[in-house]
Structure 1
């Protein structure tokens, strides 16, 4: 890995010095795989291994000499891919076909095997989830080149070669009957990170997350604080951060904040704190730097506006002013004696009413009792008179005459009513 990095660094330096292409082969010695590899009963399986197509060897293009990868015979689809181990900004792909080291023309039996092939770049081993870089629809046995190069400005981790000869499909003249995979070398050239253009000589804006390797456009967006197709414009209109989607806080003197992190260069305006000046002062504090304490004479102690220091619900009794720091010169009747007077008056009235009710009750009760006693007395008097009229004593005259005779008194007796 260290050796590859050294070669890459030297290659980039050399391309700048001589102004040649700055691409490099990112497929070299990377993991490769093929479906239906060729099986030989006389030669080692390594002779046709999928890795032969990325070993950097292409001096001998004979399929049986160990520098090419071959697929099995009589198959309907041939698939090979290389894993670049990470996503690269791919510039172009170059393929060296198996020629068997003989003239490459319509008489070469290998030419028909490559007709109709496809190249994909994907982030998985499934070509359907990737991008089609090339699909042959026009080559013939006489026109297909032995070394094929296609520009494919995409990002991806897997480069997939695919060909097919499906049953029931009529293919053009010259196409082989079965599908084959006879590749001697596949090179995937990528721009170094941060470069773009025809030969990867142009440097991307360092404010790009990753630029298009052909146009230099920032296809993957900008770093926080930057905007525009090339990410060369700072955030504006008091915005900052990723995609300029955040709004600046309350910076001092209404200044704009840092377009990247939102910090206020000259501190916060009154009533705000922290680097971005988006937080209000803590309860009980206000003003520049949140250094001033709210008045304890606010109606709710130290409950004031975080910017001005004005008490939210007014002042306690005896204090006045927006910040409740002035002693009242005139007592506020509404807030001092009036409520107390009304309270005392109310208690007095209630007491008076209760007292009057009690006195009235006592008077009514006494009058009622007196009337009742007078009625009883009158009743008693009437009863006595009745008794007196009815009690009359009758004297026996014969008895009185005898007694008087015995006494030698006159017998002329008068009858008296004796009343008791």
Structure 2
């Protein structure tokens, strides 16, 4: 239940400029996985090696494409930075991609943080690369996903999709119970499991007996008569 509450806290803002560096990159050199690999030197780890150019994480043309990074534990996430591979042939391959934040390796257990749609965001003429996706969530796995399983597709979409990730950076606080731009502030002591909003510091849920954004006031059930 707590995991569900944490994952439901996500909010979304898309920013089209280079990554803000105030938070720590939690994904750098962490364990990664992808659904298929094109060449031996285009494995999933290429997307977390700290390099924006050169070899990228790449997969075959498939009906679905999935990549994920393990942050080694539940982290307080602020935003995800994605640098796709560039070139005309890549543009239509990653149209329609999604980003999920999950406490398991299954995206269905998590929360949809972002979905690129033809009608509300990208076409081949309006692609933003790189892209920053603000996603205020707690989670262990950041999952990149795309599919071509429900034709017909919008104009400009490829028939198949594939992974073409040169770098994925996940910015947030490494230590739970922290918030603020430099992760230097303590979450209120009565936040359940110490989890609070990474920007505002408000509790996502309160320990039993407390209520309010800062979990300071006593719940009526715990007030003695």
Q: Which residue number in structure 2 is paired with residue 90 of structure 1?
A: 77
1:128 aligned counterpart, secondary structure: helix
Report if aligned partners of 1:22, 1:191 keep a CA contact under 8 Å in 2: no
2:99 aligned counterpart, secondary structure: strand
Q: Which residue number in structure 2 is paired with residue 113 of structure 1?
A: 93
Give the Å deviation of 1:72.
Answer: 1.2
Q: Which residue number in structure 2 is paired with residue 175 of structure 1?
A: 157
Q: Does 1:185 align with 2:173?
A: no
In structure 2, C-alpha distance between the alignment counterparts of 1:21 and 1:76, rounded to whole Å: 35
In structure 1, C-alpha distance between the alignment counterparts of 2:45 and 2:68, rounded to whole Å: 10
Q: Which residue number in structure 1 is paired with residue 107 of structure 2?
A: 127
Report if aligned partners of 2:210, 2:219 keep a CA contact under 8 Å in 1: no
- Name the TM-score, length of structure 2 as normaliser: 0.78
- Greater C-alpha Rg: 1
- 1:318-397 superposed matches below 5 A: none
In structure 2, C-alpha distance between the alignment counterparts of 1:21 and 1:202, rounded to whole Å: 17
Q: Which residue number in structure 2 is paired with residue 206 of structure 1?
A: 189
Match of 1:50 among 39, 44, 49: 44
Q: Which protein has the bigger helix share?
A: 1
CA RMSD of aligned residues (A): 2.6
Q: Does 1:145 align with 2:133?
A: no
| Residues 1:230 and 1:183: Cα distance change in structure 2 (over 3 Å) | same
| Residues 1:211 and 1:36: Cα distance change in structure 2 (over 3 Å) | same
Match of 1:70 among 58, 73, 76: 58
In structure 1, C-alpha distance between the alignment counterparts of 2:25 and 2:123, rounded to whole Å: 28
In structure 1, C-alpha distance between the alignment counterparts of 2:67 and 2:115, rounded to whole Å: 15
Q: Name which structure has the greater RCO, CA cutoff 8 Å, separation 6+.
A: 2
2:74 aligned counterpart, secondary structure: strand
Q: How many residues align?
A: 200
- Name the TM-score, length of structure 1 as normaliser: 0.44
Give the Å deviation of 1:173.
Answer: 1.1
Specify every segment of 5 or more residues in structure 2 that has no aligned partner in the other structure, as ranges.
Answer: 1-19
In structure 1, C-alpha distance between the alignment counterparts of 2:60 and 2:210, rounded to whole Å: 54
1:76-100 Cα distance to aligned partner (Å, 9 max, x none):
1101111111001111101001126
Q: Which residue number in structure 2 is paired with residue 293 of structure 1?
A: none
1:113 aligned counterpart, secondary structure: helix
1:306-328 Cα distance to aligned partner (Å, 9 max, x none):
xxxxxxxxxxxxxxxxxxxxxxx
Stretches (4+) displaced over 6 A: none
Q: Which residue number in structure 1 is paired with residue 30 of structure 2?
A: 30
Report if aligned partners of 2:60, 2:162 keep a CA contact under 8 Å in 1: yes
Specify every segment of 5 or more residues in structure 1 that has no aligned partner in the other structure, as ranges.
Answer: 1-19, 40-44, 101-107, 238-243, 249-420
In structure 2, C-alpha distance between the alignment counterparts of 1:200 and 1:134, rounded to whole Å: 24
Give the Å deviation of 1:114.
Answer: 1.2
Report if aligned partners of 1:114, 1:180 keep a CA contact under 8 Å in 2: yes
Q: Which residue number in structure 2 is paired with residue 161 of structure 1?
A: 144
Q: Which residue number in structure 2 is paired with residue 229 of structure 1?
A: 213
